Amino acid sequence: MTAQSVTIVEVGPRDGFQMEKAFIPTDLKVRVVDLLSEAGLRSIEATSFVSPKVVPQMSDAAEVMSRITRRAGTIYKALVPNLRGAQAALDSGADAVELVIVASESFNRRNVGLSVDESIVACEEIAAAAQGAERPLEVVIGCSFGCPIEGLVPEEQVERVAQAVSAFGISRLSLADSIGSGNPAQVTRLVSRIRATLPTMPLSLHLHNTRGLGLANVLAGFQAGVDTFDAGLGGLGGCPVFPGATGNVATEDIVNLFEEMGIPTGVDLEKVREASRLVQQFLGRPLPSYILRVGTARELFARAELARVS
């Protein structure tokens, strides 16, 4: 059964910004999160509590959390790599924390220096900390569709992590195509498999447009019953292992996809574009979102020149 409406989770201020070399001023980060809140995005990954030595771009995480204007009913989430980060995120007032466990052994080790099993143990501790603070924990299974070191990731590996962490009272599982190597058939298969294994677990998809398959993968996920999708304003972000690759599925593009299909998202596209333009201006380069560059079908019709179309 496909959903009657979808929820877009904005991850640009974390997944997008962390890829940028130039430090994005805290004022701009706060302004962007505020615009995204005003746009009606009900779940925003505002920052991550990682070591500032590893990711200097996120060194102002606590300041961002304290300065954003919180809109009632909006969830401001923070990504955390470990228990220490989780405690910092909870102390900062994050409404929810997210932990990434990479489905492939070698990339998880490279990401956090732990085996997958050690990450599952860490997840239980973080889940206990989140429960103690009465805040939800979401688990992102990274490289669910492919790993830069190991190639295709067997579905059993993703399922094993999903089953293990589902025992810790987590609020949601997100299947992430962290490098953008997945295709729609893979999305359909993996979503169906995880839904069959964990029928009551809320699922979301985190998809990257590295090879132009982002929206096709979104649609495959939607048709397989997923109603929650991560997206990044402007299509910010990238892929650390594929230089030059585009980033997250753009918020504008995913909102437009569903709205033009008659499936409400509750997101004001123009406000998202306003945020993207501010970021574009700071970065000094155009962002890859199609809708940011070209506009919606309605906007195209309104300004089409009457040239002969062959």
CB of 231 vs Mg ion, minimal distance in Å: 10
Write the secondary structure of the chain as one string of H (helix), E (strand) and C (coil). Answer: CCCCCCEEEECHHHHHHHHCCCCCCHHHHHHHHHHHHHCCCCEEEEEECCCCCCCHHHCCHHHHHHHCCCCCCCEEEEEECCHHHHHHHHHCCCCEEEEEEECCHHHHHHHHCCCHHHHHHHHHHHHHHHHHCCCCEEEEEECCCCECCCECCCHHHHHHHHHHHHCCCCCEEEEECCCCCCCHHHHHHHHHHHHHHCCCCCEEEECECCCCCHHHHHHHHHHCCCCEEEEEHHHCCCCCCCCCCCCECEHHHHHHHHHHCCCCCCCCHHHHHHHHHHHHHHHCCCCCCHHHHCCCHHHHHHHCCCCCCC
**Residue nearer to Mg ion on the CB measure, 15 or 60:** 15
Cβ of residue 239: shortest distance to Mg ion, in angstroms?
8
Nearer to Mg ion, 86 or 231 (CB): 231
Closer residue to Mg ion (CB): 10 or 15: 15
Closer Cβ to Mg ion, 37 or 48, answer by number: 48
Task: Give me the residue whose beta carbon is nearest to Mg ion.
Answer: 15
Contacting positions for Mg ion (CB under 5 A): 15
Q: Shortest gap between Cβ of 301 and Mg ion (angstroms)?
A: 34
Give min distance, CB of 166 to Mg ion, in A.
22
239 is catalytic: yes
**Catalytic residues, which ones?**
239
